[in-house]
Amino acid sequence: MFEKIESVFKKIDKVISWLIVLSLGGMTCAIFLQVIFRYVLNSPLAWTEEISVFMFIWMTFLAGYVGARRGKHIGVVGIRNKLPKVGEMIFEFIAHAISAIFFFIIVVSTTMFMPKLHTQTSPALGLPMAYVYLVMIIGSLLMAVWYSLLAVRCLMNTKTGKES
């Protein structure tokens, strides 16, 4: 079962990785344009700062998912390493479950604000802010699902006595 899910996540990972690259590239180009127009041509562009901030937000939430998938988020390994094997697995389950709940709360909270964000527009681009905050839902949902799967995996390993 986990092999099929992992293959789906690997496909999602490729798309997310490309979106991160595009966000970073777009942000770099926008900042470069801003520097050229502000300091060389003495005529700053109004939209470059705004779009680079939006791309940074998108990149951050998407990269958060990639960090979760690679196991690179901060953890409390000092406590976990001092526990016996069963305690370590229970500790990991609790950590993954709390993370999943946290990200599901972000998804629900952000979704509740979306109607208001559709009416609010950005000053320079006139872009509905819902497009900017959509990545909070996407990234948090992906992280919530991933941490939920890790929690289930911990439970299954605890019941069968297998190591992760």
Paired with 121 in beta bridges are 128
Three-class secondary structure of residue 128 per DSSP = strand
In single-letter form, the type of residue at position 35 comes to V
d(CA 3, CA 50): 41
Give, as one character, the DSSP assignment of residue 121.
B
In order along its 164 residues, the chain shows pLDDT tens digits of: 678 888 899 999 999 999 999 999 999 999 999 999 999 998 888 899 999 999 999 999 999 999 999 887 777 677 777 778 787 888 889 999 999 999 999 999 999 999 998 899 999 898 999 999 999 999 999 999 999 999 998 888 755 555 54
Q: What is the largest CA-CA distance in the chain?
A: 68
Residue 55 · residue 30 · CB < 8 Å: yes
In single-letter form, the type of residue at position 65 comes to Y
Residue 62 · residue 16 · CB < 8 Å: yes
Closest CA to 142 of 150, 131, 153: 150
Question: Any idea where the domains of the chain sit in the sequence?
Answer: 2-160
Residue 74 · residue 152 · CB < 8 Å: no
Q: Provide the pLDDT for residue 164.
A: 44
Q: Provide the pLDDT for residue 15.
A: 95
Residue 6 · residue 149 · CB < 8 Å: no
Q: Provide the pLDDT for residue 99.
A: 94
Q: Quick one: 66 exposed, middle or buried, by C-beta within 10 A (0-12, 13-18, 19+)?
A: middle
In the block, residue with structure tokens 């590239």: 25
Q: pTM for this one?
A: 0.84
d(CA 90, CA 36): 55
